[in-house]
Amino acid sequence: MRDWNAMSDEEFRQAAIDFINQHCPADLRYREERPRFEESRVWYLAMAAEGWLAPGWPVAYGGMGLKQSKHLIYLEEWTRNGLPRVMEQGVLNIGPALIANGTEEQITEFLPKIFTAEHLWCQGFSEPGAGSDLASLRTEARIQGDEFVINGHKIWTSGALDANHIYVLARTDKDVKKQLGISFIMMDMRQPGITVKPIVTMAGDAEFAEVFFDNARAPLKSLVGGLNKGWTVAKSLLGFERVWAGSPHMGRSAMDQLVQLAILTGKATDPVTLDRIAQLQLDLADGTAMYERLAQELRQGHSFGFEVSTLKIMATETYARITELLVELAGERGGFAGEVAFGDGHSGVLRAFLSARTPMIYGGTVQIHRNMLTKGVLGLPG
């Protein structure tokens, strides 16, 4: 097994670039829409076969075991080279959740099937009326023999059209505080009683879907973390997601695009423009330093705290502000879809702007995170 962390940052970055150029098909790169899994399967399996699929997993479980500095380079090059998202829920969320909270039987059964793409996962958390206030969810799971019987409705489920497995939060006890009566259950979607309905986005694709459960079933052994302990598992999982959302890699990629556009539009010598770009670069540097510090604390075994909320707010809002200036510099062409010509080059300005909206929502909206900070850190009333 190759020791990626023993490489210099420059060597690792070049190894990532070489791997991308050798294995990722050109028609999958810089896509406006998220490709369906059948299109991206070859790339997914190439990453799995060559050991590039799970950068954050420990080596013992088949991952790369990257330190955060290397992981950041990984994310930067995936973004910079326009690589597609490929059913990441298994790698980003359910895998780490099982490593942290699952039984040995669950780890042995489920983790290898993520690498082979036998199991394609989606997340069943949000519901109508239970998005940011996730603990208000109404999907129920009752025990019948050696199975859970699940009824309810999930929404904004990314990748559900291609997934064959889903992990859900379901209410298993109505008589306790709402956070205490929730369980985390893994389910096979290839069964009667599960209906998936696509949600077409403003971009014209169906990245999201609604999922309906009508007496769907899951074995009791698919419970993760214990009965009524799902909120604890979900918080750890959302912690992984929020750290990922707080990574500065998206903002750094957008900054590269902003600097290039300033040059292409002849505004790189304008003092006001340079001042605004410099301020955003300083904000990005602050976010990067915070990310590295939190990553170091996590490596030392510290649990997720309020810092994750601060990181998420800073990273996503800085990313959004960078793309807002990007659209402003593009002028009337900032509203055009696709790659637009600017001088001797081109830039996908609108795509970058729209892409920067979603990180402020998933993993908890920035407004919810501000509420968490005001109550948990400042002690203000909710």
- Per-residue pLDDT of 188-226, as tens digits, reads 999 999 999 999 876 667 788 999 999 999 999 999 999
In sign, the C-alpha dihedral spanning 228, 231, 232, 237 is positive
Residues 234, 134: Cα–Cα separation, whole Å: 10
Cβ neighbours for 279, distance < 8 A, ≥ 6 positions apart: none
Cα atoms in the Cβ-side hemisphere of radius 13 Å centred on 38: 2
Confidence of residue 134 (pLDDT cuts 50, 70, 90): confident
What is the DSSP code string of 305-357?
A: -HHHHHHHHHHHHHHHHHHHHHHHHHGGGGG--S-EEETTEEE-HHHHHHHTT
C-alpha 89 chain-centroid distance: 8
Mean pLDDT value across the chain: 89
Domains along the chain? 4-86 (no CATH), 120-228 (2.40.110.10), 246-376 (1.20.140.10)
Residue 31: exposed, middle, or buried by beta-carbon count in 10 A (0-12, 13-18, 19+)? middle
pLDDT, position 80 = 80
Going by pLDDT thresholds of 50, 70 and 90, the confidence category of residue 138 is very high
User: Angle at which helices 230-245 and 306-330 pack, to 10 degrees?
Assistant: 40
The DSSP annotation for 116-132 comes to: TTSS-EEEE--BTTBSS
Query: CA of 236: how far to CAs of 72, 215, 247, in Å?
Result: 21, 28, 17
pLDDT value at position 198? 93
Q: 244: pLDDT confidence band, cut at 50, 70 and 90?
A: low
Please tell me the predicted confidence (pLDDT) of residue 382.
62
Mean pLDDT within 139-155: 97
Bridging pattern class, strands 165-171 and 121-124: parallel
Per-residue confidence (pLDDT) for residue 300, from 0 to 100: 60
The CA R_g of the chain, rounded to the nearest whole Å, is: 21
Indicate which residue of 207, 241, 292, 297 is catalytic. 241
Question: Counting Cβ atoms within 10 Å, is residue 283 exposed (0-12), middle (13-18) or buried (19+)?
Answer: buried
| Active-site annotation holds for 210 | no
Comparing 59 with 349, the larger pLDDT belongs to 59
Residue-wise pLDDT tens digits, 152-199: 999 999 999 999 999 999 999 999 988 899 999 999 999 999 999 999
Q: Which residues contact 206 (CB under 8 A, 6 or more apart)?
A: 161, 198, 199, 200
Mean pLDDT for the stretch of residues 61-76:
86
Token reading at 75? 């994310």
pLDDT value for 102: 95
Between CA 232 and CA 184 the distance in angstroms is: 9
Residue 360: band (very low, low, confident or very high) from pLDDT cuts 50, 70, 90:
confident
Q: Is the pLDDT of residue 301 over 60?
A: no
Q: Is the pLDDT of residue 105 over 90?
A: yes
Q: What phi, psi does 249 have (nearest 5°)?
A: -65, -35
Question: Residue 303: what pLDDT?
Answer: 59
Residue 283 scores a pLDDT above 70 = yes
Per-residue pLDDT, 369: 82
